[in-house]
Amino acid sequence: MTCYNRKELTLQCLRGILDERLRLFFVIMDDGSSDGTFEALASFLQEQGLPFFLLRSKGNLYWAGGMRLAMRNLLDSGRCFDYVALVNDDVCFEDGALFRMIERSRDKDDMPVSGVVRGSDGNTSYGGVVYDRKRVKPTMLSLEDANRFPCDTANCNCLLLPWKAFQEAGPFDAHYVHAMADYDYGFTLQGLGYRIWLTDFFVGTCDDNPLSGSWRDRSLPRLERIRRKEAPKGLPFRQWFYYLRKNFGLSQALWHSITPYIRILLGI
């Protein structure tokens, strides 16, 4: 996982992951936190007697960059594990969720498993999606879909990977700074022949990112929406175009890379 200035949430996440049935090794990138997150994590992991790599950057990696370096660090370490879980530090996990995800993976021929997360309203907030490839439109799947078909791709709020799949897929694509790296990663797994299955249970809670204050917030002036879209945590043109071209082809990229600007100009 990667983290930044969410000390209590990050510690809560770690506590929820701990399970006496699992031997865990933590790889955490702290992206320059100023609230004592790094020190609190080091203290907690040492107190628990858990092995870990705790890395630190200057605060310019954002989520995808932090995850990429953490993944690369693990791959280059010479260590070998049964599974790797890519986790967001703001997920509050249900007891035994990771253990149940491993059982789910084994039931699905040792395939990757996306943990379905719900918001505080009880509805699915993160998990797996299927794409309407003609319209490049993702649809979030629900628990009811879990045993019907695999996902096209998934969020990495909690994604469990067999070690072989993790090795073959490698770290996140270096083109991404923050958003879209997880969806791109899911397509990479699919291209390698892996099918991503959903859990048929909620693994934890995590509210979806609010529209308010983002580039999709229709109450903001148009120029401000464009500025926020092009910010690292928005949907920068080059990264969005690259994602579209890589996973859907040039013609789709040419059209769908400009549709966000059309939406902004139309005020929708």
Residue ending a domain, among 205, 230, 245, is: 205
Mind listing the pLDDT tens digit for each residue in 246-260? 999 999 999 999 999
Mind listing the pLDDT tens digit for each residue in 26-69? 999 999 999 999 999 999 999 999 999 999 999 999 999 999 99
Say if residue 100 is in the same domain as residue 198: yes
Residue 15 in any domain: the answer is yes
Residue ending a domain, among 180, 205, 230, is: 205
Using only C-alpha atoms, what is the Rg of the chain?
A: 18
Residue ending a domain, among 177, 205, 233, is: 205
Say if residue 175 is in the same domain as residue 252: no
Q: Identify the helix (H) or strand (E) that includes residue 222.
A: helix 222-229
Residue 213 in any domain: the answer is no
CB contact at 8 A, 66 and 40: no
Mind listing the pLDDT tens digit for each residue in 159-189? 999 999 999 999 999 999 999 999 999 999 9
Say if residue 236 is in the same domain as residue 140: no
Say if residue 246 is in the same domain as residue 162: no
Predicted local confidence at residue 237, as pLDDT: 98
Would the pTM count as exceeding 0.85?
yes
Say if residue 172 is in the same domain as residue 256: no
For the packed helices 222-229 and 259-266, what is the interaxial angle rounded to 10 degrees? Answer: 150
Predicted local confidence at residue 235, as pLDDT: 97
Q: Indicate the average pLDDT of the chain.
A: 97
CB contact at 8 A, 204 and 117: yes
Residue 133 in any domain: the answer is yes
We report the CATH number of the domain holding residue 201 as 3.90.550.60
Structural domain for 228, as ranges: 222-266
Residue 134 in any domain: the answer is yes
Angle (nearest 5°) at CA 242 between 226 and 231: 30
Predicted local confidence at residue 251, as pLDDT: 96
Predicted local confidence at residue 28, as pLDDT: 98
Count of structural domains, the chain: 2
Residue 7, both tokens: 């000390």
Residue 212 in any domain: the answer is no
Share of the chain above pLDDT 90, in %: 99
CB contact at 8 A, 41 and 28: yes
Mind listing the pLDDT tens digit for each residue in 203-255? 999 999 999 999 999 999 999 999 999 999 999 999 999 999 999 999 999 99
Q: What's the pLDDT band for 72 if we cut at 50, 70, 90? A: very high
Q: Which residue, 72, 141, 152, is CA-closest to 112? A: 152
Say if residue 133 is in the same domain as residue 10: yes
Residue 130 in any domain: the answer is yes
Q: Identify the helix (H) or strand (E) that includes residue 223.
A: helix 222-229
